[in-house]
Structure 1
């Protein structure tokens, strides 16, 4: 634990240095846009140094460098094949990050001097190296949001060269220490940096990042008791922070395959970068771009664990054609046009592994009590399918995009002896107050998880409600119906209050009399 804390501290320090660089260099560009450049530079450096480390290990017994092997007509095809098979991409020696930095700071002559067009070419060649290969799914268009011709970087090529050159040099000055495999310092720092950008971006930041506390809570609840997971998914994955959080809470940390879907093109690229930065091999993840509700990219894949923080009360078409979609057809009614929350839940229910599927999803409280179609779907999932295992209410103001309190729905395909009840937890008071945003700390998460594990009544905090009790409430799952948090007020002593009011009146009159006396003495 002490060792892990040490590396977490290193990751925090590294992310703060990177954040300082971002603030120093971004000029007039909005933080949410400049992140594409600084994160892109960090990611390119990571891929470059990963190439160098792999080639050093591979060519050690041959006694030649990567540059020499690439220049050899016989060696080059072999080296390229190795790189594609193992890394999924090729970075040519002249495009290595350290070589680009040399051209920025130690160029030999004007012809050898760095230009932003050198970096642009290097990126295109990296992406091009994956064309026609299976790894293309992970790398295609990965740097498309780092628009190196954007006039906001500079009006001229020279200006843009200067800006990107300064970013690259500053990033090069930081020791990433990739050879230290004990803990993913760089990957963790990258995640922290994404969170800082999200916080700075305010409401827009909520689109790509779920704060650490709620993310950790969902991952912990969904992975509870699992040694490993065959498949882990997030159908609105954002930057993939929740996906990556899940493996931390599996006993062995082993995940067979990650699945994610993200509609926003920029965030879709960020998610793929984040997976690779955390050492997830390109063959072990599929992140799809597209609208989850309209176009299910998963096909027939069933998930062991699913976590999700979908956009709250999103408007969607609720088109009649979806009545034939196997994800939505079971309940007999579609989620209303004004609230797509249950459409996301139904998507996840459809993709649950029948043997031991788990879901932890963050949702607005309205899903617990709204009537109409949502009541029908709620009853279908809870009663007919018997998948709702727990309902947990969280504090307000935990998220970048909204100040509303949200809840966690925990779903399980096998209820393991709890099929005749649902656990309700009111954790609305479990938070640390922040200046702009409240946070869910480890102590709060531990308290919630313990209550979920113990599954017993706790006054004013948790209640195990029988299905009969829920039926009596017409499948209204609003937490106050099950967890009584009423605090009885101290009885008011009216005699004492009356005496206090009288005393205040006497003191007030005495103060007035004194003031008037002073004014008379002054002749006013």
Structure 2
């Protein structure tokens, strides 16, 4: 599929999203639109796979299969390959067709049928390997909600309209790379994030920031055994990492928000990640980690900035091996270092970890200062500090940075600091600042080559870090000060005299015009001799 076709698909899908725009909140119509797109994807995937299984049979079109033995055989194979099963009558196109028929003999009412199909998708996985990945996956698609219509008829009309528009779009799953539809899906997620305000950061990391994190953790690697995101949102960061290498063996993630957790699982499946290759869990990562026994070759994250956590209310935290060695717990109102040390605990010895944090993490004292010093002086895990432009994340304008950690650093006597926050290193797109591809590449190249560049980067020795009392504030290391030009006072005085003479000439002209018109000038006219 060409880039033009890809853009066309994105435009078509966003056009369908706009059917609900202005009628219900962005968060709500996001769930409906993305949910219906996902259902269509599952349906087309099922149809293609079943048709493939029917090659050589009498009936080769899955929609025409009625034989129970044949359906049972397709069901068994589908659960192994796809992880779910849809009967011919449950296919997206069949429901869309019913929605379009409104005659005396047949009603176009499909809400109950649609709900039954979504329930059956989940039920078909019960007792199988994929059960956890499909459990309650459609729970945010409330077809009885008055948000999409005050009456049953009104709700049905909206749903029929969306399904009808979607049915006209050919996803071309047999012809295109899996990432094409996945890209279009993520394009929609990004568009929804742009309009979601403060809540956007809960489920989406801007694409260019994701690219930086992904390129960093795949440095020097062509394959990864595993990648992990403890606050995975919609899963975009995990999927971005996969683009930077030939293969990722397993994807692991954890997400607290239930709706976002469902979105992450849908995103994985829609990117054709097999259900055996990912494990996304819904729990509080700090209080109830789900993959604690695992160690990961790549760790990426964009945790909630300075979140509250139950550091002092859970007595186990002081003995938890994720936190105990540092001597202090992260403050209960600032969980940044709790997330950092949690990720370090799960980082493999040969792994790289990159996480987005607020700038306060670089210099705040008290418990955070103790933890920061231990990470650098005792463990020597910190590899790089990268400052990002302000206002680059949806929903917040606070300055942020990326911290990079390695347990086995190739260059273990210094830390590279990069200041990519200057106006020359991003562009403005409406209210948001965005990184360009060349900005991303400069960051990555500077990190990998570890070179000092005037007003952009600095390679600081550990002795220098110690002399700064382990304060990592970027301006301490990267000098971006611009000297102002010297002001020649005589030249300023001369310009002021010229301005005064010019003003006198203008005033004389105004007085002349006023005299001709017989009106009083709009300012006091000094008499001769005054």
TM-score (normalised: structure 2): 0.94
Which of residues 263, 266, 282 is equivalent to 1:270?
263
Counterpart mapping for 1:366-381 below 5 A = 366-381=360-375
Pair member with larger Rg: 2
CA deviation digits over 1:194-239, x for unaligned, max 9? 1001101122222111111111111111111111111101111110
* Structure-2 separation of matches of 1:341 and 1:9: 42
Is 1:419 aligned to residue 423 of structure 2?
A: no
CA deviation digits over 1:120-168, x for unaligned, max 9? 1111111111112220111001010010000122222222111101000
Task: Identify the residue that residue 20 of structure 1 maps to in structure 2.
Answer: 15
Structure 2 unmatched runs, 5+: 521-530
Is the contact made by 1:12 and 1:192 (CA closer than 8 Å) also made in structure 2? no
Is the contact made by 1:316 and 1:338 (CA closer than 8 Å) also made in structure 2? yes
| CA positional deviation for 1:67 | 4.7
* Structure-2 separation of matches of 1:458 and 1:68: 63
* Structure-2 separation of matches of 1:27 and 1:438: 26
Which of residues 336, 353, 362 is equivalent to 2:356?
362
CA deviation digits over 1:275-304, x for unaligned, max 9? 000000011001000111111111210010
Task: Using the TM superposition, name which of 159-168 and 76-85 deviates more.
Answer: 76-85
* Structure-2 separation of matches of 1:408 and 1:7: 34
Paired residues, number = 515
Is 1:83 aligned to residue 55 of structure 2?
A: no
| CA positional deviation for 1:81 | 1.1
Is the contact made by 1:69 and 1:76 (CA closer than 8 Å) also made in structure 2? no
Task: Identify the residue that residue 193 of structure 1 maps to in structure 2.
Answer: 188
Which of residues 186, 201, 205 is equivalent to 1:210?
205
* Structure-1 separation of matches of 2:65 and 2:58: 14
CA deviation digits over 1:485-504, x for unaligned, max 9? 11111111111111111221
Task: Identify the residue that residue 468 of structure 1 maps to in structure 2.
Answer: 463
Is 1:51 aligned to residue 46 of structure 2?
A: yes
Is the contact made by 1:224 and 1:249 (CA closer than 8 Å) also made in structure 2? no
Is 1:442 aligned to residue 437 of structure 2?
A: yes
| CA positional deviation for 1:61 | 2.6
Which of residues 295, 298, 306 is equivalent to 1:305?
298
* Structure-1 separation of matches of 2:333 and 2:359: 15
Task: Identify the residue that residue 126 of structure 1 maps to in structure 2.
Answer: 121
Task: Identify the residue that residue 141 of structure 1 maps to in structure 2.
Answer: 136
| CA positional deviation for 1:9 | 3.8
Structure 1 unmatched runs, 5+: 1-5
CA deviation digits over 1:17-69, x for unaligned, max 9? 11111112345201221011111111001001100111111121334346589
CA gap of 1:425–1:329, structure 2 versus 1, over 3 A, is same
* Structure-1 separation of matches of 2:43 and 2:104: 24
Partner-residue secondary structure (3-state), 2:128: coil
Is the contact made by 1:207 and 1:401 (CA closer than 8 Å) also made in structure 2? no
| CA positional deviation for 1:400 | 0.5
CA gap of 1:67–1:11, structure 2 versus 1, over 3 A, is closer
Partner-residue secondary structure (3-state), 1:357: strand
Is the contact made by 2:242 and 2:248 (CA closer than 8 Å) also made in structure 1? yes
Task: Using the TM superposition, name which of 491-500 and 7-16 deviates more.
Answer: 7-16
Task: Using the TM superposition, name which of 507-516 and 229-238 deviates more.
Answer: 507-516
* Structure-1 separation of matches of 2:3 and 2:378: 45
Is the contact made by 1:10 and 1:185 (CA closer than 8 Å) also made in structure 2? no
Q: Once superposed, what is the RMSD of the aligned Cα atoms?
A: 1.7
Task: Identify the residue that residue 386 of structure 1 maps to in structure 2.
Answer: 380
Is the contact made by 1:427 and 1:461 (CA closer than 8 Å) also made in structure 2? yes
Task: Identify the residue that residue 410 of structure 1 maps to in structure 2.
Answer: 404
Partner-residue secondary structure (3-state), 1:100: helix
Counterpart mapping for 1:87-236 below 5 A = 87-106=82-101, 110-111=105-106, 113-182=108-177, 184-236=179-231
Task: Identify the residue that residue 497 of structure 1 maps to in structure 2.
Answer: 492
Task: Identify the residue that residue 3 of structure 1 maps to in structure 2.
Answer: none
| CA positional deviation for 1:515 | 3.1
Partner-residue secondary structure (3-state), 1:255: strand
Is the contact made by 1:66 and 1:93 (CA closer than 8 Å) also made in structure 2? no
| CA positional deviation for 1:419 | 0.7
| CA positional deviation for 1:184 | 2.3
| CA positional deviation for 1:317 | 2.1
Task: Identify the residue that residue 454 of structure 2 maps to in structure 1.
Answer: 459
* Structure-2 separation of matches of 1:516 and 1:73: 101
Task: Identify the residue that residue 289 of structure 1 maps to in structure 2.
Answer: 282
Is the contact made by 2:64 and 2:88 (CA closer than 8 Å) also made in structure 1? no
| CA positional deviation for 1:507 | 2.2
